[in-house]
């Protein structure tokens, strides 16, 4: 894990007055998943486009797999694949035509290209949809063909730009499984996301970016320690037990516990999810009946609040570029 797959220093890109990327330093080790987490407009896509040699940085340097993205763009392109945020295959063509097109462009003969396309469609559960136009695919199928298209020649490094935005939970899980499978085979994955739980589930290390700058970097555990792991919400059977429950929770969790407006509910910001089970056990031992409890992940907004002291201005939505 010592080798760096991506290294950037002071990477910058502006569009007119917008400083889309305002000095990004990244060090991504080879193997594993690196997550770039940030709200819409943070500069994730712009960063990826520079790393994939599609955009020339205004300033700074970037090496991908040891090659400079400006001077050695061609070497970078032969070793990486990009799965863009929007429509990264031709929607008018069918699934098999798209893969065959890429296979031919990458040097496969027509028969070998056909075989490769069929194998990929099979592996991604798209064999039934091979001859259907991609514009008629569902969101989940669409994402799978996008990723399959990036694997026609297996890359050493793959960029996935918001691979699960707008997907239903089941399709999202499939994409996660694909990402894990890629990593198991030694591919380095850099993915961007607006979802904290996604970065948490998949990424070995996470860079949180906002306004084109990295505002926090570390493993999921390190980041969580810095902004808390979320909140515990508890409902009791009897309102008169609330004061006692509050005392027990505060004791085990070692944080402030807030009584809610609802007379039987309580909530607490937690820093260590491990203690939650112990806290619940402690309540039951004390004879306090809990009718309901929920563990909430901190939202991206809470994370931003914790990191920057200001809420993220733009709430995640799909339409903006």
Partner 1 sequence: MNATSAEQASPPVTEDALRGVLLAGERPPRPGPVSTSLTFGWRALLKIKHVPEQLVDVTMFPIMFTLMFAYLFGGALAGSTQEYLQFLLPGILVQANVMITMNTGITLNTDIQKGVFDRFRSLPVWRPSPLVGALLGDLVRYSIGSAIVIMLGLVLGFRPEGGAVGVVLSVALLLVFSFCLSWLWTMLSLILRTPNSVAGVSMMVMFPLTFVSNIFVDPKTMPGWLQAVVEVNPITHLATVVRGLMDGSVPAGEIGWVLVSSVLLVAVFGPITMVLYRKKK
Ligand X SMILES: Nc1ncnc2c1ncn2[C@@H]1O[C@H](COP(=O)(O)OP(=O)(O)O)[C@@H](O)[C@H]1O
Q: Which residues bind partner 1 (CB under 8 A)?
A: 49, 52-56, 74, 77-78, 80-82, 84-94, 97, 101-102, 104-109, 112, 116, 119-120, 122-129, 133, 136-138, 140-141, 144, 149, 151-154, 171, 174, 177-178, 180-182, 184-185, 187
User: Is 46 near Mg ion (CB under 5 A)?
Assistant: no
User: How many Cβ atoms from other residues are within 10 Å of residue 247's Cβ?
Assistant: 11
Smaller CB separation from partner 1, 101 or 255: 101
Q: At which residue do the structure tokens 């939505």 appear?
A: 317
Residue 78 near which of ligand X, Mg ion, partner 1, none (CB within 5-8 Å, type-dependent): partner 1
User: Is 46 near ligand X (CB under 6 A)?
Assistant: yes
Smaller CB separation from ligand X, 44 or 275: 44
Q: Residues 45, 81, 150, 241: which binds ligand X (CB under 6 A)?
A: 45
Q: Could you tell me the smallest distance in angstroms from the CB atom of residue 163 to partner 1? A: 13
Q: Could you tell me the smallest distance in angstroms from the CB atom of residue 48 to Mg ion? A: 8
Smaller CB separation from ligand X, 83 or 267: 83
User: Is 234 near ligand X (CB under 6 A)?
Assistant: no
Smaller CB separation from partner 1, 57 or 230: 57
Residue 246: which residues within 8 A CB-CB, separation 6 or more? Answer: 257, 259, 266
Q: Residues 11, 22, 26, 38: which binds ligand X (CB under 6 A)?
A: 38
Please choose, out of 41-49, 75-83, 93-101, 141-149, the segment that lies near ligand X by the rule CB under 6 A: 41-49
Residue 316 near which of ligand X, Mg ion, partner 1, none (CB within 5-8 Å, type-dependent): none
Residue 8 near which of ligand X, Mg ion, partner 1, none (CB within 5-8 Å, type-dependent): none
CB 256 within 8 A of CB 271: no
By CB under 6 A, name the binding residues for ligand X.
Answer: 15, 18, 20, 38, 40-46, 321
């Amino acid at each position: 894990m010592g080798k760096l797959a991506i290294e950037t220093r002071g990477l910058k890109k502006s569009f007119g007055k917008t400083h889309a990327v305002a000095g990004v330093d990244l060090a991504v080790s080879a193997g594993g998943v690196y997550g770039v987490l940030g709200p819409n407009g943070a500069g994730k896509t712009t960063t990826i486009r520079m790393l994939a040699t599609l955009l020339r940085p205004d300033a700074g340097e970037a090496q991908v797999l040891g090659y400079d993205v400006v001077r050695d763009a061609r070497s970078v392109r032969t070793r990486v694949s990009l799965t863009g945020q929007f429509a990264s295959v031709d929607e008018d063509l069918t699934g098999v035509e798209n893969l065959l097109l890429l296979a031919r462009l990458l040097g496969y003969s027509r028969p070998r290209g056909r075989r490769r396309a069929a194998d990929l469609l099979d592996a991604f559960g798209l064999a039934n949809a091979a001859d259907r136009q991609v514009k008629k695919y569902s969101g989940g199928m669409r994402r799978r063909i996008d990723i399959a298209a990036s694997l026609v020649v297996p890359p050493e490094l793959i960029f996935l730009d918001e691979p699960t935005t707008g997907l239903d939970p089941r399709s999202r899980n499939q994409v996660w499984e694909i990402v894990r499978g890629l990593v198991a085979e030694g591919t380095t994955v850099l993915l961007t996301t607006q979802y904290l739980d996604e970065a948490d589930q998949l990424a070995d290390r996470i860079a949180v970016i906002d306004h084109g700058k990295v505002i926090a970097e570390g493993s999921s555990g390190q980041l969580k320690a810095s902004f808390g792991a979320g909140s515990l919400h508890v409902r009791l059977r009897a309102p008169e037990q609330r004061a006692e429950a509050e005392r027990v929770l505060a004791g085990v969790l070692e944080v402030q516990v807030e009584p809610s407006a609802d007379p039987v509910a309580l909530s607490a910001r937690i820093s260590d999810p491990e203690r939650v089970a112990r806290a619940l056990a402690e309540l039951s031992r004390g004879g306090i009946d809990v009718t309901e409890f929920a563990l909430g992940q901190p939202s991206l907004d809470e994370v931003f609040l914790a990191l920057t002291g200001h809420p993220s201005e733009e709430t995640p939505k799909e339409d903006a570029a």
